[in-house]
Structure 1
Amino acid sequence: MAGLFANDSEQIDRRTSRSICDAVGERLQQSLRPESRLPTHLESLLNELRKRDRDGDAH
């Protein structure tokens, strides 16, 4: 693990790191558009969480 940071010339500055993160985020947003549907199993799990949240608010 120490070998990853042994050469300081390979490190990037904060501005470059932020730019990379922003670009990755933009691409993820494009490929995971809101209109895309979740798999049925995940949708049912989210619905169950929403139901439990509502039921928890009643107590």
Structure 2
Amino acid sequence: MAGPSANDSEQIDRRTSRSICDAVGERLQQSIRPEPRLPTHLEHLLDELRRRDRDPH
């Protein structure tokens, strides 16, 4: 299925297309950063809470 630009008289070359894709990818990487990790002591406390939730006693 052809997109709306299939019949356009203006086409971009492969090199330009690649440059656009690379630029979009770089911006996405900058804006979608992984969430920072919790401090170690908080991670241990959360692990302890998870263990206690699983323990039936």
When normalised by structure 1's length, the TM-score is 0.46
Give the structure with the higher percent helix: 1
When normalised by structure 2's length, the TM-score is 0.48
- Larger relative contact order, structure 1 or 2 (CA cutoff 8 Å, min sep 6): 1
